Amino acid sequence: MDYILFIATLVAIYSILTITMNILVGYIGILYLAHPAVYGVGAYTFAILAKGGTNYFLALLAAGAVATILGLIIAMPTLKLKSHYIGMSTLGFLIICHGLFINLKGITRGALGIPGIPRPTIFGETLNTNLSFFIFTIIITTVIGIILHRILHSPFSKTMEIIREDETAAKTLGKNIIKYKLQAFMITSFFGGIGGGLLASLLGYISPTNFNIDELVLILTMVIIGGMASFWGSIVGATIIILIPEALKFLDIAPALIGPLRYGIYGMLIILFMIYKPNGILGRRTNVFSK
Amino acid sequence: MTNILEIQGISKTFGGVHAVEQCSFSVKKNSITGLIGPNGAGKTTMFNLISGLLKSTEGSIHFKDQDITNFTAYKRARRGLARSYQAIRVFPEMTALDNIVVAFGNNKEGLFQAFTPFRRHQRRLECKAMKLLELVGLEEKAHLKAYELSYGQKKLLEILRAKANNAELILLDEPTAGINPTLIKKITTLIRQFQKEGHTILIVEHNMPFIMDLCETIIVMDRGHNIAEGKPKDIQSNKEVLEAYLGKSHA
Amino acid sequence: MEILPQILVISIIASAIYALIAAGLTLTFGTLEFINFAHGEIAMAGAFVFLYFFSDFGLGIFPALIVTTLIIAALGMFIERTTFRPVRDKQEFIPLVLSIGISILISAAVMLKFGGGSHTYAVANEMPTVYRIWNEAVIISQTQIVIILSSVVLISALFAFLKYSKTGKAIRAVSDNKQVAAILGINVNRTIVILFTIASGLAAIAGILIAFDQNLNPRMGLQLSIKAFAAIILGGVGKLHGAILGAIIIGFSENMIVGLTNIPSSYKSTIVFTIFIIVLIFKPYGIFGGNKEEVESR
């Protein structure tokens, strides 16, 4: 039961991470592969501040703020580049950040990682149990979810989508493409950073391995399975992908094989979805997929 | 201002190709003006230069007496310059109604406006959009996705979208391409209606009867340069224009 | 500066390997119009298949080489037929993400069969043949000489093939404009299959060469893919000389910067990609890619 609560908390946090990634990848249509670096920076910022005694909530906000700064830096080259170049440049940022996480030992403790990341203390009670932290996280992620839901069902979101569908037509309709892209990056990074902070607090320990290319594969699969440009799809995708390894545990497989098997399943899922159902489970037909 | 658009000495080179070469002309306010010329004359490039999708290599563009040569495309659109595309660019997955609603400028589409009560405003915009659809009899298709419309209906939608935000200058790129004669008549009436409402319309076309009938002034381009400008009947008997279309030996 | 010659040689070796992988990648990019993330995995798979036939099965070097190249070429063909062809005409997103999926699948398959750890081809107790050249300033092993020679030979052969042979010209035509090539009577599907096969074969050879020189582990495919992309994008995609130039830039910047300064080698990837992004900012289409105007007029 306790473990189920842990998994549920993980699902809640990854739902936010997936929705935020979906904003750039699905709604605005940018091949954005740097998200783990962005929420990683959020996680590290939170971990360092919270361990240093900063108020938990302030640390979360700071995580969002620092992640936003990184997000805007990553955004800059993408404004000028075309699609696969954007994919490579964002991937490049992911690799650079991962390298920095490993090498800036003075700040991040390098490959050793940061242990002992605290849980919040509310009214004198430290939320160390899975149940209490689950409730806490659900409240925060629901609030963030409501904000994102509102944004993603507004005229702002419609305009993001027409920029994705046909940037040229959007321009001559008077839409300021750069402003929309930058704002999308800001939302994605800010809430992604907070998600990273929550993740750090849940796991209690983070290291550069949490934010490498494997993590990118994970979050990308969540977005694709759930559906591009779909709010609820992102939550569905996050849930499914997190539950897969749990399901595997029920089958009698040698522990050494579970890792590659998981990986293989993700690969198979991506392949099947891309060929047969590129819009994911809940995604709508979008122009990202037709020439 | 008599001329809403002034093109002065505009050139555009791609690699070695001079698509537009020292081209100058003006468009009178509230007129219906035609832009014609043989294939490869540079008409579409000119439209792209005017709407801001391309930057000219030299020359200047004045719109409403303001130098917009260095304005980005979206800024020109916000100043009142709209266009339709020859290859239809309506958004296929949006409804016909929504396609027009996104064209409105004060759409409450800013990020922070997502937290204001935008739905009431949206409904008002939808009414406005409906009225536009009624102009061409498309109101019953309002809630169909644009990809479900016929080619002709999509073309009408494309034109309506250019008018939606009350642009002072509307550029129409081959509005009658692939259209049957009945629909062409509808488009002609529509454009005249726009003129009555105060718009200026600049049309690129290959359909001679359509454009000679509709336009007060015709500008002719050939090989990147404007070679003639005047009333339809003068253009029709202009030696250089005939040469451009038919080749020297036939003139 | 005594170590400079050694670092130069190491840079050349790294560039030689990247060049083999980048060459195939840039050609497939030119025809398929998306970046094939699975390419590096194919190199890695080649290395492992060779390992199986050479070490486990006991074949001699050349037989194992031939069998491996055939298998990997067939793998490349299979992948193209079953997964890439159905999505060929969709916008870049789908094939690109699809190739990520394929790369993951191949990596997982290799890990399942061979385990996740490191492997080598080394025959027990046999010391690698090593030469000292350049007034004793440089140590280079026989394997490394083979790497450089193979790379030069194979890439020159590729250049010649593309320029002079009928199929090579067909490949260039299809790269340039598929529809026109089809009208000219070129069998586009067959040309693409041939191209894929050549690219996969080159990648497999690169993988095998790397494995002889260093240890190999199933995770290295992605590393290779990413560096190969950086190479082809730096040089300008679709152009063979661009890929070579890109490979040289990556190979040299990786090793020279780390070798000649105090920067620790764990910063290698960070440096390469920082350079990559900086170049992209100034030349969004790559060094040989031209600028916006030229791209517009194509």
CA-to-CA distance for C222 and A83, rounded, in angstroms? 20
Q: What angle do CA C198, C203, C207 make, to 5 degrees?
A: 150
Question: What would the mean pLDDT of A144-155 be, rounded to a whole number?
Answer: 95
Using the beta-carbon criterion (under 8 Å), do C233 and A275 form an inter-chain contact?
no
Residue A66 has pLDDT above 60, yes or no: yes
Structure tokens at B78: 């916000």
Q: How confident is the model at residue B129, as a pLDDT?
A: 94
Domain assignment of residue A117, yes or no: yes
Cβ-based contacts of B15 with chain C (< 8 Å)? 293-294, 297
pLDDT classification of C295: cutoffs 50, 70, 90: low
The number of domains in chain A is 1
Could you tell me how far CA C147 lies from the centroid of its own chain? 13
Count CA atoms within 13 Å of residue C196 on its CB side. Answer: 24
Mutate to test the interface with C, among B11, B12, B14 (most CBs of C within 10 A): B14
Q: Indicate the SS3 state at residue B62.
A: strand
pLDDT in tens, C159-193: 898 889 888 888 888 877 777 888 888 888 888 88
Which residues of chain A from 22 to 81 reach within 8 Å of chain C, CB to CB? 29, 31, 76-77, 80-81
Cβ-based contacts of A279 with chain B (< 8 Å)? none
Question: Could you tell me the pTM of the whole model?
Answer: 0.90
Using the beta-carbon criterion (under 8 Å), do C293 and B17 form an inter-chain contact?
no
Residues 6+ apart with CB under 8 A from A220: A21, A25, A33, A270, C97, C100
Neighbours of A4 (CB within 10 A): 11
Domain assignment of residue A161, yes or no: yes
Asked if C217 and C118 touch (Cβ cutoff 8 Å), the reply is: yes
Structure tokens at A157: 């979101």
Cβ-based contacts of C293 with chain B (< 8 Å)? 13-15
The mean pLDDT value of chain B amounts to: 91
Question: What would the mean pLDDT of C227-248 be, rounded to a whole number?
Answer: 87
CA-to-CA distance for B44 and B221, rounded, in angstroms? 11
Q: How confident is the model at residue C92, as a pLDDT?
A: 65
Q: Indicate the SS3 state at residue B201.
A: strand
Nearest CA to C97 among A222, A241, A270, A32? A270
Nearest CA to B126 among B148, B96, B151, B156? B96
Tell whether C292 lies on the interface with B, counting CB pairs under 8 A. no
- Distances in Å between the Cα of C251 and the Cα atoms of A91, C35, C149, C152, C255 are 19, 20, 16, 15, 6
Residue C294 has pLDDT above 70, yes or no: no
Cβ-based contacts of A255 with chain C (< 8 Å)? none
Domain assignment of residue A85, yes or no: yes
Chains adjacent to A (≥3 CB pairs closer than 8 angstroms): B, C
Residues 6+ apart with CB under 8 A from B141: B96, B133, B148, B149, B153
Domain assignment of residue A219, yes or no: no
- Tell me what percent of the residues of chain B surpass a pLDDT of 70: 98
Which residues of chain A from 118 to 157 reach within 8 Å of chain B, CB to CB? 150-151, 154-157
Question: What would the mean pLDDT of A138-154 be, rounded to a whole number?
Answer: 96
Structure tokens at A2: 């306790």
User: E strand or H helix at B32, and its extent?
Assistant: strand B32-36
Asked if B68 and B80 touch (Cβ cutoff 8 Å), the reply is: no
Q: How confident is the model at residue C112, as a pLDDT?
A: 84
Q: How confident is the model at residue C123, as a pLDDT?
A: 46
Name the minimum distance, in Å, from the CA of C283 to any CA of chain A: 10
Using the beta-carbon criterion (under 8 Å), do B17 and C297 form an inter-chain contact?
yes
Instruction: Please give the backbone phi and psi of residue B218, each rounded to the nearest 5 degrees, phi first.
Output: -125, 135
Asked if B202 and B169 touch (Cβ cutoff 8 Å), the reply is: yes
Contacts made by residues C121-129, CB under 8 angstroms, sequence distance 24+: C121/C50, C121/C51, C121/C54, C121/C55, C121/C211, C121/C212
pLDDT classification of C35: cutoffs 50, 70, 90: confident
Sign of CA dihedral A104, A109, A115, A117: negative
Nearest CA to C297 among B45, A170, A165, B173? B45
pLDDT in tens, B14-64: 878 888 999 999 999 999 999 999 988 889 999 999 999 999 999 999 999
Neighbours of A76 (CB within 10 A): 14
pLDDT in tens, B156-193: 999 999 999 999 999 999 999 989 999 999 999 999 99
Mutate to test the interface with C, among A74, A271, A286 (most CBs of C within 10 A): A271
Residue A230 has pLDDT above 90, yes or no: yes
Residue B153 has pLDDT above 90, yes or no: yes
- Distances in Å between the Cα of A22 and the Cα atoms of A15, A189, B110, C23, C96 are 10, 12, 19, 33, 17
Using the beta-carbon criterion (under 8 Å), do C296 and B17 form an inter-chain contact?
no
Structural domain of residue A90, as residue ranges?
A: 2-210
Count helices and strands (H / E) in chain A: 12, 2
Burial bucket for residue B119 (CB in 10 Å: 0-12, 13-18, 19+):
exposed
What is the ipTM, given to two decimal places? Answer: 0.90
CA-to-CA distance for B133 and C154, rounded, in angstroms? 64
Question: What would the mean pLDDT of C28-56 be, rounded to a whole number?
Answer: 84
Q: How confident is the model at residue C28, as a pLDDT?
A: 85
pLDDT classification of C254: cutoffs 50, 70, 90: confident
Q: Which amino acid is at B221?
A: M
Domain assignment of residue A259, yes or no: no
Domain assignment of residue A217, yes or no: no
Question: What would the mean pLDDT of B228-242 be, rounded to a whole number?
Answer: 88
Instruction: Please give the backbone phi and psi of residue B70, each rounded to the nearest 5 degrees, phi first.
Output: -100, 10
Nearest CA to B53 among A171, A163, A175, A174? A171
Domain assignment of residue A191, yes or no: yes
User: E strand or H helix at B35, and its extent?
Assistant: strand B32-36
Domain assignment of residue A205, yes or no: yes
Q: Give the alpha-carbon dihedral of A132, A135, A137, A140, to 10 degrees.
A: -130
pLDDT classification of C298: cutoffs 50, 70, 90: very low
